[in-house]
A = this chain, B = another copy of it.
């Protein structure tokens, strides 16, 4: 993997970069659609390419359970298994197993957990996470970390940060495919400035080729997340990609980019699409609502995605109200296109030194994205 910063933003910490993996190169900042179970829900790889996706994320925990990493390896790896020849990043499984709540137990060795599918008992530690990710063969893989809940007390977070560092070292040691897969470290530390600093220093001292900021967008207010970014990003090396995990509302993308983040992923666009909610330049629109029953305009008036070029709000509402799959296909295409196109505009604005203007204009139209049932 190769990463170069092409240009730094004049008035913000944003930068335009280029990231090259053995499955192609793409400019950063970049949004990565999430393909949890070796598929970005409802989409074909061809459709992902059509909307400009260059890198997608897939989940170690889910693929370990089904179909199993050994099977994916036998298929020639994840790219071949799912017929996607662009870049892939896999997470470590950490976030998912910690999200299981009472179904899991943490020790120094790793995490024992019960499958959410059949309750069967499993264990993933740093070595196994890397073994799974080596079998899956993604271009970028992640260190196995502990993702703590919010809020969490200082002592717990301190112990967790120390363990996450020890686990990161074990991941480095276990990583076998150094030539074809790049391992990123993850900075944790909750909302505590000195623990984020400690975690960042620890990770940087281990010398990763990229750094993620984990444990954000876990229920804390947006301004708390932005503050953590304010003091964490400057601790990371300038010449390495910085990845903000699990964050992807349109306003958060602006806030992350202007603070120096290069990579984002989030299930938000695909998840809300399946619920009949879409992004428009004027904010979110719940196309399921009766208001749109006879609205024969496209989801977003001057969007050029496949959905907006061909279908009306009235038709999409009908499809979603009658549980027709085409409905959530069309909203998914639109939402992913929206974020990928937004990132394209952001990159152009970094290049042309008008990022803050673009951001102001965006906020005056779109506003802040707030989820009604934010977990």
- The chain A residues found within 8 Å of chain B, CB to CB, are 37-39, 41-45, 62, 66-67, 71, 74-75, 81-83, 293-294, 296, 310-312, 314-315, 317-319, 321-322, 324-326, 328-329
Q: Is A66 a contact of B321 with CB atoms below 8 Å?
A: yes
Q: Is B37 a contact of A318 with CB atoms below 8 Å?
A: yes
Closest B residue to A327 by CB, please name it.
B39
CB distance from A368 to the nearest CB of B (A): 30
Q: Is A325 a contact of B83 with CB atoms below 8 Å?
A: no
23 A-B pairs within 8 Å (CB atoms) are namely: A37-B319, A37-B324, A39-B319, A39-B324, A41-B324, A42-B325, A42-B326, A44-B326, A66-B321, A66-B322, A67-B318, A67-B321, A71-B294, A74-B294, A74-B296, A75-B296, A75-B312, A75-B315, A81-B312, A81-B314, A81-B315, A325-B325, A325-B328
CB distance from A130 to the nearest CB of B (A): 22
Please, how many angstroms separate the alpha-carbon atoms of A318 and B35 in the complex? 13
Chain B positions within 8 Å of A329 at CB level: 42, 44, 325, 329
Chain B positions within 8 Å of A66 at CB level: 318, 321-322
Q: Is A67 a contact of B312 with CB atoms below 8 Å?
A: no
Please, how many angstroms separate the alpha-carbon atoms of A160 and B83 in the complex? 54
Q: Is B294 a contact of A83 with CB atoms below 8 Å?
A: no
Please, how many angstroms separate the alpha-carbon atoms of A296 and B311 in the complex? 36
CB distance from A312 to the nearest CB of B (A): 7
Q: Is B83 a contact of A318 with CB atoms below 8 Å?
A: no
Please, how many angstroms separate the alpha-carbon atoms of A147 and B268 in the complex? 47
Q: Is A71 a contact of B314 with CB atoms below 8 Å?
A: yes
Chain B positions within 8 Å of A314 at CB level: 67, 71, 75, 81
Chain B positions within 8 Å of A325 at CB level: 41-42, 325, 328-329
Closest B residue to A330 by CB, please name it.
B44
Closest B residue to A83 by CB, please name it.
B310
Chain B positions within 8 Å of A75 at CB level: 296, 312, 314-315
Please, how many angstroms separate the alpha-carbon atoms of A37 and B325 in the complex? 11
Our pick among B45, B67, B315, B328 for the contact of A82 (Cβ within 8 Å) is B315
CB distance from A259 to the nearest CB of B (A): 35
Please, how many angstroms separate the alpha-carbon atoms of A45 and B45 in the complex? 19
Q: Is B74 a contact of A318 with CB atoms below 8 Å?
A: no
CB distance from A60 to the nearest CB of B (A): 15
Q: Is B315 a contact of A83 with CB atoms below 8 Å?
A: yes
Chain B positions within 8 Å of A324 at CB level: 37, 39, 41
